Amino acid sequence: MISEKIILGIDPGTAIMGFGLISVKKGKMEMISIHELILKKYPNHETKLKYIFDKTLALIDEFHPDEVALEAPFYGKNVQSMLKLGRAQGVAMAASLYRNIPITEYSPKKIKMAITGNGNASKEQVAGMLQNLLKLKEFPTKYLDASDGLAVAVCHHFNSGTIADTKSYSGWESFLKQNPDRLK
């Protein structure tokens, strides 16, 4: 039986990307760390993707998570924004798979529902509930994207052992088996 599990939650973004790490010991959650990667300052999308990959690998190498959970891109009207967001998510996924860490995706509504009980909750409501769930005196970051990353990790813990509305991959072979349309 595993005595401790570390979960890295990632909220992909092209302006700000949020990361949250939790430890689960005997069913009890504790926040390990929360990070945000400010990408607005980088000159182009390719540079942003490199920093996303590097930061994700650095967090994996520092904290050695057992599992990675990501927020799946939501469907929007702006195709270019969706493409950039999908690339950001893909790079974070690639970094996780590169280190052979299983990944799971959750829809934004599922994450909000797991944390607040309301799939339409605001970012502020999610952050407030996380503060309560993790017994934080104050929220340790100014950007709500970082709290969204933490929310993904907590959602993953709450959904451990369930399969609904998630996609899990244990490595490249698993990813390609579940997504044959992505292989060319």
How far apart CA 31 and CA 7 sit, in angstroms, is 10
Q: What is the DSSP string of 107-174?
A: -HHHHHHHHHS-TT--HHHHHHHHHHHTT-SS-S-S-HHHHHHHHHHHHHHHTTT--TTEEEESSHHH
Q: Is 148 a catalytic residue?
A: no
Q: Sheet holding 28-38: strands in order across?
A: 28-38, 16-25, 4-11, 67-71, 103-106, 166-169
Question: Is residue 8 within 8 Å of 136, Cβ to Cβ?
Answer: no
Could you tell me which residues are annotated as the binding site for Mg(2+)?
A: 11, 71, 145
How far apart CA 17 and CA 14 sit, in angstroms, is 7
Q: Which of 36, 67, 71, 148 is catalytic?
A: 71
Q: Is 165 a catalytic residue?
A: no
Q: Is 181 a catalytic residue?
A: no
Q: Which of 36, 105, 145, 148 is catalytic?
A: 145
Q: Which of 11, 36, 105, 148 is catalytic?
A: 11
Task: Give the catalytic positions in this structure.
Answer: 11, 71, 145
